[in-house]
């Protein structure tokens, strides 16, 4: 037995002081209530009979004194916080990393893997010795401590209650780095990973942990079960018909058995398509939904087993996408008269075109894009601009310095990755002549002849430009489908409706979401309704989220909705790992100590004192002992 509180001498001092006080109080004569009676002789008869019990009364008084001294002794020793020998040895410091990734939402172990994780950790907490300290943390894309590093099991248990599932992959490397930081300098460090074992690479941190002498244990969770997941989901509008969309869905069956599933597509909350599909064992099945109509803002995909039974992982059965907004682009065409240009601009009903002659430039109003057809304004325009054969007038400085002309150039090289040339065929376009220009730093040749550029992008005076360095009327380009596509791609490039529009973000990643308005802060509303402020940098809100679903970004009076989906497809794999190898060594099973060494005797001493006081009170006031 050892004392963790007051020393033995201090305990004895307290005991002696209070015991002496109690004895003195008992020696003081009891002050009685005085009551007048009419005839005390009658009482004397009664008291005469009581004389025989005087000895018993004296004994009871001594017993009462002993009881009081017992209470004092119990409380005095409680101040010493006595412990069993060995309980005050140097304890173990443990960080429990609980995997809260999407795969931990699987229901292959009832009610879910996350609940099973809680249950598996509970004995570990219950077995904490007095000197042991523990911290429990939620490990998802980041690692969040749920309790302080404490020797109080109750605080750790409270932390376990705060554990919440997420729709992201767990980052074990980050979890281990966090653990190493916590365990630095702590006695007998240990990390306990509670997970299904489907975790990504950890890099060097696992080796560092081994080198630091940190014991790494693993509590495996999960049994495996059937699952078909949506691992990819995106949507884009057709460039020429923005009322229709094309949708890509990828299904993944990570199990060993084929599965029949029903894939349902909903637009703006209403079902728009249902397909029954068969996904082979281990297969990734891609499906394109062409000419999808009926969705204007949001799309949602839901996969379910064809037999109606739920699969073991509900988190990856749904995917979400946001359709790009169909905003009408305001286009100013400055031209002396070009039927090909006018006709091409008529093809896109989402363009709001204003045509003016060069003499009337600039007209009143605001525009997103200005097309200069064979004419260069005397001063740089206030919008992004498309230049067609930009030959400046005398005394005017154009976007390019023109060195001369090139006869019969061809589109020998085309940067197919650039969005403005997507879906276009330019190689056999016949061109009479093109301008030979001097490019500036930052200019990029998207297409051109071997000796000269024909299609250039760049920026001047802070505004972007796209320049077609020949007169389309002196080529057969206007007779080809590529001409209106090239023009519309260019306009879309400026108004953000390019083919790389992100219809959804990935949970756990950092998102840069275009923010409406000129703000520095916006409010992000998660799918579960939680609101938080996020910063806006260069017109984009920088944020992240752990839930799949539709988010709302609110800035001032305007709102933007965007979608987020579950991250890596590994989360669909429910088969638990057989072993968790870290730095070439398998993680071991955590050792669970005997709970009895934790017993704190002082609580029992206080309870004993309270019990004795309670018994004394009861026997006195119920007239059992008096």
Dist. CA 264–CA 266, nearest whole Å: 7
Q: Which two tokens stand for residue 600?
A: 């704190």
Residue from the set 24, 27, 28, 46 that interacts with another protein by CB under 8 A: 46
Using CB under 8 A as the binding rule, the residues of this chain from 307 to 346 that contact another protein are: none
| Closer Cβ to another protein, 37 or 110, answer by number | 37
| Nearer to another protein (CB atom), residue 1 or residue 626 | 626
Instruction: Please tell me the distance from the alpha carbon of residue 541 to that of residue 522, in angstroms, as a whole number.
Output: 7
Shortest Cβ distance from residue 51 to another protein (Å)? Answer: 12
Residue from 28, 49, 365, 366 binding another protein (CB under 8 A): 49
Using DSSP bridges, classify how beta strands 531-537 and 505-506 pair: parallel, antiparallel or unpaired. Answer: unpaired
Nearer to another protein, 27 or 40 (CB): 40
3-state secondary structure 486-498: HHHHHHHHHCCCC
Site string for another protein, 356-395 (x = CB under 8 A): ----------------------------------------
The pair of three-digit structure tokens given for residue 518, joined into one six-digit string: 């000129």
Residue 62 beta carbon to another protein: minimum distance, rounded to whole angstroms: 16
Q: Going residue by residue from 159 to 188, which x/- string records binding to another protein, judged by CB under 8 A?
A: ------------------------------
CB of 617 to another protein, least distance (A): 14
> 145, 151, 25: which is closest to 81 by C-alpha?
151
Cis peptide preceding 111, ω within 30 of 0: yes
Q: How far is the CB of 86 from another protein (least distance, A)?
A: 50
Distances (CA, A) of 171 to 139, 142, 168, 192, 365: 7, 7, 9, 15, 52
Window contacting another protein (CB under 8 A); options: 8-16, 47-55, 273-281, 384-392 = 47-55
Nearer to another protein, 184 or 626 (CB): 626
Q: Which is nearer to another protein, 28 or 37 (CB)?
A: 37
Q: Which two tokens stand for residue 508?
A: 């756990």
Phi first, then psi: what are they for 334, rounded to 5°? -105, 105
* Segment interacting with another protein, rule: CB under 8 A, options 46-54, 87-95, 122-130, 294-302: 46-54
Omega cis (within 30) before 383:
no
Cα(483)–Cα(509) distance, integer angstroms: 38
- Between residues 45 and 520, which has the closer beta carbon with respect to another protein? 45
54 makes contact with another protein (CB under 8 A): no
Exactly one of 20, 66, 481, 626 binds another protein (CB under 8 A); which one? Answer: 626
x/- track of binding to another protein for residues 14-43 (CB under 8 A): ----------------x-xxxxxxxxxxxx
Q: What one-character-per-residue DSSP string does 126-158 give? A: HT--TT-EEEEEEESSSEEESS-SBS-HHHHHH
In angstroms, give the least distance from the CB of 40 to another protein. Answer: 4
Residue 41 vs 276, nearer CB to another protein? 41
Q: Which is nearer to another protein, 60 or 473 (CB)?
A: 60
Give, for 234, the enclosing helix (H) or strand (E): strand 229-237
CA atoms within 13 A on the CB side of 129: 18
Residue 44 Cβ, how far from another protein at the closest point, in Å?
A: 6
Q: How far is the CB of 624 from another protein (least distance, A)?
A: 9
Alpha helices in 357-481 (DSSP H): none
Q: Minimum distance between the CB of residue 45 and another protein, rounded to whole angstroms?
A: 5
What is the rounded CA–CA span in Å between residue 25 and residue 32? 15
Binds another protein (CB under 8 A): choice among 25, 47, 401, 533: 47
| CA gap 549, 300 in Å, rounded | 9
Using CB under 8 A, count the residues that bind another protein: 21
Least distance from another protein to the Cβ atom of residue 38, Å:
4
Sheet holding 453-460, edge to edge: 351-356, 329-334, 369-373, 384-388, 463-468, 453-460, 444-448, 413-414
H helices within 231-346, ranges in order?
339-346
User: Which one of residues 9, 44, 290, 450 is an interface residue with another protein (CB under 8 A)?
Assistant: 44
Sites of contact with another protein (CB under 8 A)? 30, 32-47, 49-50, 623, 626
């Amino acid at each position: 037995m050892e004392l963790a509180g007051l020393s033995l001498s201090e305990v004895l001092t307290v005991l002696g002081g209070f015991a002496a006080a109690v004895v003195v109080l008992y020696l003081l004569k009891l002050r009685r209530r005085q009551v007048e009676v009419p005839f005390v002789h009658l009482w004397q008869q009664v008291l005469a009979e009581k004389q025989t019990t005087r000895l018993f009364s004296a004994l009871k008084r001594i017993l009462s004194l002993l009881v009081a001294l017992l209470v004092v002794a119990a409380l005095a020793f409680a101040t010493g916080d006595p412990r069993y020998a060995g309980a005050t040895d140097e304890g173990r410091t443990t960080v429990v990393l609980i995997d809260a990734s999407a795969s931990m939402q699987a229901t292959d172990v009832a009610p879910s893997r996350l609940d099973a994780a809680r249950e598996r950790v509970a004995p570990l907490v219950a077995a904490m010795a007095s000197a042991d300290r523990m911290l429990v943390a939620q490990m998802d894309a980041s690692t969040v401590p749920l309790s302080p590093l404490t020797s109080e099991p109750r605080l750790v248990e409270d932390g376990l209650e705060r554990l919440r599932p997420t729709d992201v992959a767990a980052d074990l490397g980050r979890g281990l780095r966090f653990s190493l930081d916590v365990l630095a300098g702590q006695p007998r460090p240990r990390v306990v990973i509670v997970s299904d074992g489907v975790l990504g690479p950890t890099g060097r941190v696992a080796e560092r942990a081994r080198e630091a002498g940190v014991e790494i244990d693993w509590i495996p969770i999960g049994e495996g079960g059937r699952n078909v997941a949506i691992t990819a989901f995106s949507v884009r509008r057709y460039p020429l018909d923005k009322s229709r969309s094309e949708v890509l869905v990828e299904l993944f069956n990570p199990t060993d058995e084929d599965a029949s599933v029903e894939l349902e597509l909903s637009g703006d909350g209403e079902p728009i398509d249902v397909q029954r599909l068969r996904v082979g064992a281990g297969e990734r099945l891609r499906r394109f939904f062409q000419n999808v109509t009926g969705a204007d803002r949001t799309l949602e995909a839901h996969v379910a087993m064809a037999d109606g039974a739920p699969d073991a992982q509900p988190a990856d059965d749904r995917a979400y996408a946001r359709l790009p907004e169909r905003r009408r682009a305001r286009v100013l065409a400055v031209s002396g008269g070009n039927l090909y240009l006018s006709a091409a601009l008529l093809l896109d009903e989402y363009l709001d075109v204003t045509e003016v002659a060069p003499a009337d430039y600039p007209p009143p109003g605001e525009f997103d894009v200005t097309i200069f057809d064979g004419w260069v304004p005397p001063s740089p325009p206030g919008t992004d601009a498309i230049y067609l054969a930009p030959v400046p007038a005398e005394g005017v400085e154009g976007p390019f310095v023109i060195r001369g002309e090139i006869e019969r150039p061809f589109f020998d090289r085309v940067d197919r990755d650039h969005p403005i040339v997507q879906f276009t065929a330019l190689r056999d376009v016949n061109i009479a002549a093109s301008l030979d220009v001097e490019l500036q730093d930052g200019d990029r040749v998207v297409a051109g002849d071997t000796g000269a550029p024909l299609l250039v992008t760049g920026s001047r005076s802070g505004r972007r430009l796209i320049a077609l360095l020949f007169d389309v009327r002196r080529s057969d380009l206007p007779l080809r489908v590529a001409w209106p596509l090239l023009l519309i791609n260019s306009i879309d490039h400026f108004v953000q409706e390019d083919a790389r529009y992100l219809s959804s973000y990935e949970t756990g990643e950092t998102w840069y979401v275009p923010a409406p308005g000129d703000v520095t802060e916006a409010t992000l509303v998660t799918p579960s309704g939680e609101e938080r402020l996020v910063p806006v940098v260069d017109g984009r809100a920088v944020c992240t989220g752990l839930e799949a679903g539709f988010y709302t970004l609110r800035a001032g009076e305007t709102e933007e909705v965007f979608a987020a989906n579950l991250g890596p497809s590994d989360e669909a794999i429910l088969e638990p790992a057989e072993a968790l190898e870290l730095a070439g060594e398998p993680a071991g099973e955590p050792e669970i100590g005997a709970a009895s060494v934790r017993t704190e005797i002082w609580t029992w001493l206080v309870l004993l004192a309270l019990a004795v006081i309670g018994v004394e009170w009861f026997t006195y006031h119920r007239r059992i002992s008096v």
